[in-house]
């Protein structure tokens, strides 16, 4: 009976660890969709160390360019993606260089 209790305790601990890793991975990433000439969400808040991925679902190419020149995608074709890892806290404003009226912001905590 003691072995069964110890075995069950180990299983519970392993499951808790797996759930913790799954939770962490969700918090350590973000996604922004490019569609209808908009970034959605326009403002995204993530934790430091998070990787944000922009996905172009529009029918035309777009770019993602930091106002402070901290990151810059190439041309992102329809269905294409661009990812950037935000290591430091701060506010990162960006725009599409092809369509400068398209703007967004990543807030890193």
At residue 3, the pLDDT reads 62
Number of domain units in the chain: 1
* pTM listed for this prediction: 0.75
Q: Is residue 23 part of a domain?
A: no
Q: Which CATH number goes with the domain that contains 60?
A: 2.60.40.420
Assess if residue 72 is contained within a domain.
yes
- Domain of residue 82 covers 29-108
Structural domain includes residue 1: no
| H or E stretch at 21 | helix 2-27
Tell me the pLDDT tens digit for each residue of 17-72.
444 433 333 346 899 999 999 999 999 999 999 999 999 999 999 999 999 999 99
Whether 7 is in a domain gets the answer: no
């Amino acid at each position: 009976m003691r072995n069964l209790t110890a075995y069950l305790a180990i299983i519970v601990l392993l499951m808790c660890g797996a759930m913790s890793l799954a939770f962490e991975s969700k918090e350590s990433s973000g996604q922004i969709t490019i569609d209808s000439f908009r970034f959605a969400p326009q403002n995204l808040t993530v934790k430091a160390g998070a990787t944000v991925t922009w996905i172009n679902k529009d029918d035309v190419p777009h770019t993602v360019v930091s106002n402070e020149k901290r990151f810059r995608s190439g041309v992102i074709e329809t269905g294409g993606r661009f990812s950037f890892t935000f290591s430091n806290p701060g506010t990162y404003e960006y725009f599409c260089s092809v369509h400068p009226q398209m703007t967004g912001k990543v807030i890193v905590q």
